[in-house]
Amino acid sequence: MFQTYLDAISWLFKQFPSYQNIGAAAYKPDLGNIQLLLNKIGNPQNELKFIHVAGTNGKGTTSSILASYLTECGFSVGLFTSPHLFDFRERIRINGQLIDEKSVLDFCNSMQALQEIEPSFFEISFAMALYHFQQQKCDYCVIEVGMGGRLDATNCITPLLSVITTIGLDHTQFLGNTRESIADEKAGIIKQNVPVVIGEKDTETAPVFSKKSKEKNSNLYFVEDEHFPEWIEEMPFPFNTGFQLLNAKTAFLSLVELYKKENISIEKQLFERAIANVSENTGYQKRIEIVCNRPRVILDVSHNLEGIKATLFLLKNSIKGKLFIVYGSSSDKNYNEIVAQFPKESIICFTPFGSERSWTVEEMEQTRNARNIEIFDNVNQAIKSCITNSTADDTILVFGSFFLIQDISIDFNKVAI
């Protein structure tokens, strides 16, 4: 029996592999364990209403906007996301409030007592979320897929609505090395007679979704094909442009479809409040988050090629002075292709982060090529160097991994110019 929350969390990370920490070795493409585990705890999923959100990029933001809107409507809303930045409990929230430490402790103690099942870290986390949401009598639960869709542990639920944001070449060792194959894996969350909203439409992936939705008799809606009120493009930055506008539209269309099933009102004022209060209502953070204005320091967790390209495109027209980039990546990314996207005039800093999944200094040296790139021991050194060499009008963009953001310890209130 664990006596404290920290004891339970230590066991959770040590006993069961976490993709967040060790990568590929933690991946378990099978629904058998989660189904057995949920049966052991009384199948809480059978008493809850779900919105299921998958996608290569944008699923966390879209999930958060949906949860924030439902919170503004006055509902009790469970939100399950991954990974966490600072505290495991960030993964499981109700109306923005973290699951309490005692609930985590009690659930881990019950898991330790299981003999015949050896669930993964992610399976335990998801089962804990469903149990917590059931115990707290949530009206709706927004569930972000961990990886893929078809064989993701979250795919044991039957939602009111399925949402797939975008498709990109990420986790190719598990999901396939073409956009079509990845789309097919993510289309696995489409359920019989359950409508599905697709955030991105293109010639490679649209046929995959169309085929699957016909097989499942599911009404299919592409954001590109729908009409939206003009005010949705008047949301505050960054939700009024680029991929964040797409995420906002995907969430809005999802709410329109939810209205057909649940009679939930879709109002401009509520949507504006959902965007304005998204952090308070959901814990949403570190996606185009401005933490300092002089110079402008932006933290972001874009980590794959498509996400990084989208972030750079979104920021392009808002950069007044010089652009400093602090970049840290997991070792399984194609850094050469990613770094090639960085503006030629930008000042680039490479840094590792505190995880065994971080790229090495040797890998950074190989990626430097002919560009003038400086390598630092850690992200805080890199940021301080950029601030020292910047003016009030410059922008410092820090991104590449959740782990990179996790390592930041700077008090930005004390470094502003």
- Per-residue confidence in pLDDT tens, the chain, 417 aa: 899 999 999 988 876 554 444 444 444 556 888 999 999 999 999 999 999 999 988 999 999 999 999 999 999 999 999 888 789 999 999 999 999 999 999 999 999 888 778 888 899 999 999 999 999 999 999 999 988 788 899 999 999 999 999 987 654 455 556 889 889 989 999 999 999 999 999 999 999 999 999 999 999 999 999 999 999 999 988 898 888 999 999 999 999 999 998 988 899 999 999 999 999 999 987 678 889 999 999 999 887 888 888 889 888 888 989 999 999 988 877 778 888 899 989 999 999 998 887 888 888 887 776 577 999 999 999 999 999 999 999 999 999 888 898 899 998 887 776
Q: What is the pLDDT of residue 161?
A: 97
Q: Which two tokens stand for residue 302?
A: 């874009």
Strands in 323-327's sheet, in edge-to-edge order, are 289-293, 296-299, 395-399, 323-327, 347-350, 373-375
Domains in the chain, start-ordered, CATH in brackets?
5-282 (3.40.1190.10), 289-414 (3.90.190.20)
pTM strictly above 0.75: yes
Are the C-beta atoms of 399 and 311 separated by less than 8 Å?
yes
No. of helices (H) and no. of strands (E), the chain: 17, 14
Q: Two tokens at 29?
A: 């493409």
Q: Cα–Cα distances in Å, from 202 out to 37, 58, 190, 210?
A: 38, 16, 18, 12
